[in-house]
Each structure stands twice: as C-alpha cells, then as structure tokens.
Amino acid sequence: MANRARTSLPRTLAAHAILLAYTAIALFPVFVIVINAMKSRRAIFAHPLQLPGPKSFDLIGFQTVLSQGNFPLYFWNSLIVTVVSLAFILLFGAMAAFALSEYRFKGNLLMGLYLALGIMIPIRLGTVAILQLMVATGLVNTLFALILVYTAQGIPLAVFILSEFMKTVSADLKNAGRIDGLSEYRIFFRLVVPLVRPAMATVAVFSMIPIWNDLWFPLILAPAERVKTVTLGAQVFLGQFVTDWNAVLASLSLAIVPVLVLYLVFSRQLIRGITSGAVK
Amino acid sequence: MGALSLSNVCKSFGTVDVIQGVDLEVADGEFCVFVGPSGCGKSTLLRMIAGLEDVTSGEVRIDGARVNLTPPSKREIAMVFQSYALYPHLTVRDNMGLALKQAGTAKAEVAGAVQRASAMLSLDALLERRPAELSGGQRQRVAIGRAIVRRPKLFLFDEPLSNLDAALRVQTRIEIARLHRELSATMIYVTHDQVEAMTLADRIVVLNAGKVAQIGAPMELYNDPANTFVAGFIGSPQMNFLRAADLGEPGETLGIRPEHLTISRESGRIAGSVSHVERLGGETNVYVTTDAHGLLTVRLFGEHSFAFAETVHLTPEPGRSFLFDRAGARIRR
Ligand SMILES: Nc1ncnc2c1ncn2[C@@H]1O[C@H](COP(=O)(O)OP(=O)(O)OP(=O)(O)O)[C@@H](O)[C@H]1O
Ligand SMILES: [Mg+2]
C-alpha cells in the first residue's frame, strides 16, 4: 500500500536499510547455529562462519540426536507443555481480563493490581515453595506440574494486555447480546474474543518463547526421562568435560522448528487483526 | 405491546447521583422521547429500563409487572443503539433472527419473522451480507429490523440517527414514524436533536441534570414551558430571556421567542444595534446587541436585509411572553 504522496525514495531506502540490518543482526545467531549443525566437528571449530561445503558437510549431529536419548519424546513433551500452557494462559487470562474490564464489583481495582504484581515479581523467586507444593501434591515429574507453573507465570501479562483491549470493545455490542438473550459466556466467546484476537495472538507470541526455552523448571520439577523437555534433553550433550557440539547444535536447530510453526500461526492472526482494524 | 411506569427511579454511580427520582407513565402505544443536554442521564435512564443498569432505588414496571430484577432478555424489550451494535460475525439474516433463536422459537417461525421485518424495511437484498459489507444507513435499518423481529412490548432507541448524514436522518426518521404507526408499539426514544423530538413524539420528557424538567406533548412544551430550562431548550433559535423589571413586568425573567419580537428601524421598546444577520432564504435571523438585555435574536420570515451596526428597535408582541421567577419557575398569569 505505497502512498506516493507521503513517501520519498531516500526515506524508503533508509527505512529498509535499517530493517534489513536489524533482521541480519537478529537472525545471525540462528543462522550460525543452523549452518554449524550441518558440519563436522572439526569444521565447526576451524571455520565457524563458513557455510557447510562438500568437505565439511556432516549430519552426524542429527544422527546422534535421533539415535541417542529420546528426542521425539522430548519434543512431544515440550510441545504438550507449551501448547497446553498457552491455551490455559489465553483462556483464563482472557476470562479474568473480561471480568476485570466488564464488571463493576468490590475489589475490582485491587484484583487488577494484584494480578499486575505478577508481571513485576519473577515466578522463579518462589521455586522452593513451588517445589514443596509439587512434592506435597505428588506432581513432581509430571508435565502437568510444568503446565501449572507456566500458566501462573503467563497469566499476569495476559490479563494486563487483554483487559486494556477488552475495554475498547463496544459496550453497545455486549448490551445488544444481553438483550437478545446471549449468556455472558456466549458474549465473551462469540462477541468479545473474536474482536480481541490480535491482542491474544500478541500475548501468545510473548508467552510462548519463554516457556519453550525454559530450562529452570523442567530441571527442578520434571527431570525424569519420561517427562524431559527438549531444552533439558539437549543438556545431555553438554558434559562437564566433553561437549558434543554437533548434537547440541542439531538439537537446537530442531528445537527452532516447532516454535517457528506456532509463531507463523499466531502472526497470521496478528496481521489479519491489524489490517482488518485499519481498513474498517 | 406494553405500558411503562417509572416511580421515583434513582441511579447513583458511587457518590454521583446521575438520576434523581424520575416518575413517568408511558401509555400503551405511545411514542415517548427523552431529550436533554449531553450528560443529563438520558442513556442511563434508558439503560435502566432495558435492565442493562441496576436501579439504585425506585421501581420500573413494564405492563404492570415489576421488572427491577428481571434480566434484559426477559423484559420483552428491544433496543436500537447509536453505534448499531450488529454482530460482526453473523449475516443480516442471523443478526435479525438471533434473539428469537435464543428464546427457542421454531426455525420456520424465525424465518417468517425475519422475512416480515425485512420486507417492512426493504432489507431483502441484504439478508446474506455481513455488517461490514453494509453502509451506515443500511446498518441502522438492520438494527431497527433486528428490534422489530422480536415483537417486543417496548422499543428503546438510543440516539439511533446521530451517526447518519442529514438526508438519511430525515428519511430514517420518517421510517421510524411509519413503523410506530404500523406496529402501534410503545417506543421510548432518546435524542438530543429537538427536531427529532418534536416531529416523532407523542410526549416529550425533558431531562435536566438527572431530574425531569417537564413532561408534555411537543406543542405543550413549546407553548407552555414550565421553567426557563424547558423554554430555552425547546425551540430553535433559542428563546430570548429579558430582564423583566426593565420592561415593567413582574418576576425576574421575561422569555420571548425570536419570532415574537418585532423589529423596526424607527421606534420600539428596546434599542440595540445589529451584530449579525443569518439569511436562510425562507427566514432571516437577526442578532441584536442591546445594552439592557445582552444579545437578542429576532426571527423574520422571508428575506430581509440589515446593515451591520445599524440601530434598530425591538418590541415584544403582547401576550406572547412568558414570565419566570428568580429560581427559573414559570409565573402563570
Ligand atoms: N458507568 C458509569 N460510571 C460512572 N458515571 C457514569 C457511568 N455512566 C454514565 N455516567 C455518568 O452519568 C451521567 C449521565 O450519562 P448518560 O450517558 O446517561 O448521559 P446522556 O444524557 O446519555 O448524554 P449524551 O447525550 O452525551 O449521550 C454522565 O455524567 C456520566 O458521566
Ligand atoms: Mg447518551
């Protein structure tokens, strides 16, 4: 949608140059990981920035990853934890945000502040208490433990962002629904949620990466083989004395793929939301 | 169809008393319009009738039954909003049919009701479209159609025309008047446009800061205002308020409509100079600055010309003025 009257060539060029430079900087580490994952061990250390050539090309890392350990399972675990946590964060976050933005009740403001506090205080401070809780409830070494913790970790930001957006949804629309006999749940799911979909995609993208990448809680709450996540699984290649760099890089490369797919799904929502709002 | 009755209805938001004791009886089939300046509580009162806002104290009755605690969908009302408030994910047909579907009406019956309403408002060609594919005027017609489909006891309109352009507003106004005749339904209509109020209403309720200033038929309010607020609010251009003492009349204020002031270049009771002239073709409004009474408006019919700063003399027509006391209440003679 180039608007000739408002753009000039030098300005466009400058903007693109800045964006390209930023893209290059942001993608560089990923690029280095991916190319080195496909090289032999010697080539990784000799020429870390070289593209894999006929001589240095080697898929040993991927072979190790797929044969050793239980990587398909780790992937499955990570995916379950991430997707279920995201679903909970979005569902409960959006519901709490709706309640806070829509209903006037005693303690509304206090509740909002209490939830916002969660954004400022890192959940890891409570690790010991969480561990005690999980031990007491017998949830140690289950994926459900991780899902609970990540849901708790993600909800404050979700509520914060979504309640702001929900305040912008037309009150008349919700009232029309009430007069037509829609339940509050139908109003929430059918009228409000579709209109804040872009905001929900934003929340999903922001919440997803820290969950997928987290090492801390899997290590503490679910270190058993059965419930290992990818990030934790990749640690087997990082030894105190020897590190299998091929396998580490290969597992990291593989770990990028699912997040990329999830991101593409959400970002489409994001863009659709933004443009539909803009054109209207 | 149904009648509405409000008795001593109050509404407070926290410590702010937005509605302060409104009493009102609306008869079956009546067209009742709420007017008043922005922020006087018209929408709040309407939303309380709809059940979207709790009543702090007092009683709302529809068809004799107390509905203070009845949820909106059970009050057998329909509401048309200023912002249309159509469901964006549903087609026009589904938008119109949703309320009946929610109430568990049979499919064929819903289809029939939608068909009748769409024929009434000539929406047939638009039934399969979504709200985003309609113009503003079409959206408002769909919103009105959605209200008709339910066959409510009470129609509630909250400034339904204020987002439309002038031509469409006149057209839709006529349409609403026609619907009121055809359906002989009870309608409550909120507006701050007094032309809408005067042309549509059987009875007008003028609200001022959460209180009823006066209730009456349009001509009653125009010819017999109860206080300075109503006198100034109804009628355009606004009524002139003169100092009664200077004219040898009892009371504090003398109100006279612009068309009841005569203007003369030779002689009259109040001298002043012309400060502005508006010529609208059919009528001419002359604004005259006077020493004793400030800026006064004179409305003349036909075309007239006056020069800027020209000295003129104004005389109130006898028997056409209203007298008000210090508190603004009418002194009847
Ligand atoms: N939810 C609320 N909380 C607090 N105050 C409110 C709320 N809703 C309305 N008010 C106040 O109540 C008063 C009346 O509002 P209302 O919307 O009824 O005005 P109105 O007569 O419809 O005005 P307009 O012509 O501008 O639509 C206003 O002063 C407004 O600030
Ligand atoms: Mg209003």
Whether residue A181 and residue B103 make contact (CB cut-off 8 A), yes or no, is yes
Indicate if ligand 1 lies below 6 Å from the C-beta of B260.
no
What's the count of helices (H) and strands (E) in chain B, helices before strands? 8, 19
The two tokens of residue A23 are: 């893209």
A176, closest residue in chain B (CA to CA):
B85
**Which pLDDT belongs to residue A273?**
56
Q: How confident is the model at residue A279 (pLDDT cuts 50, 70, 90)?
A: very low
Residue A2 has pLDDT above 60, yes or no: no
Question: What percentage of chain A exceeds 90 in pLDDT?
Answer: 45
**Other CB atoms closer than 10 Å to residue B148's CB: what's the count?**
23
Banded model confidence at residue A278, pLDDT cuts 50, 70, 90: very low
Residues of A in contact with B14 (CB under 8 A): none
Q: What is the pLDDT of residues A114-137, one digit of tens each?
A: 988 888 888 999 999 999 999 999
Please identify every stretch of chain B with a pLDDT value under 70, giving residue numbers as ranges: 1-2
Q: Tokens 């509905």, residue?
A: B67
Q: What is the pLDDT of residue A277?
A: 44
User: Tell me, what's the pLDDT at A149?
Assistant: 96
* ipTM at complex level: 0.86
pLDDT recorded at residue B2: 67
Q: Cα–Cα distance between B133 and B202 in angstroms, integer?
A: 36
Reading the block at residue A77, the tokens are: 């675990």
Q: Where are the domains of chain B?
A: 4-230, 237-246+255-324
CA of A174 to the centre of ligand 2 (A): 16
Q: What is the CA radius of gyration of chain B?
A: 24
pLDDT per position as a tens digit, B214-260: 999 999 999 999 999 999 999 889 999 999 988 888 889 999 999 99
- Confidence class of residue A280 from pLDDT cuts 50, 70 and 90? very low
Confidence of residue A4 (pLDDT cuts 50, 70, 90): low
CA-to-CA distance for A173 and A167, rounded, in angstroms? 12
What φ, ψ does residue B297 adopt, rounded to 5°? -110, 135
Question: Average pLDDT in the A195-205 region?
Answer: 89
| C-beta B192 within 6 A of ligand 1 | yes
Residue A242 scores a pLDDT above 80: no
pLDDT surpassing 80 at residue A239: no
Please give the full DSSP string across B67-124, using - where no structure is assigned. Answer: -TTS-GGGTTEEEE-TT----TTS-HHHHHHHHHHHTT--HHHHHHHHHHHHHHTT-G
The predicted pLDDT at position A271 comes to: 67
- The whole model's pTM is what? 0.83
pLDDT digits (tens, 9 = 90+) for A15-42: 999 999 999 999 999 999 888 888 888 8
**Strands B270-279, B261-264: parallel, antiparallel or unpaired by DSSP?**
unpaired
Helix residue ranges, H only, chain B: 42-50, 92-102, 107-120, 136-149, 166-183, 194-200, 218-223, 228-233
Residues of chain A with CATH 1.10.3720.10: 65-275
Q: In the CATH scheme, what is the homologous superfamily, with its name and number, of domain B237-246+255-324?
A: Nucleic acid-binding proteins (2.40.50.140)
Please provide residue B257's backbone torsions phi and psi, each rounded to the nearest 5 degrees.
-70, 150
CATH code for the structural domain at A65-275: 1.10.3720.10
pLDDT at site B198: 93
CATH number (3.40.50.300, 3.10.180.10, 3.40.640.10, 3.20.20.140) of B4-230 reads: 3.40.50.300
Supply the residue whose CA is at minimum distance from atom 8 of ligand 1: B44
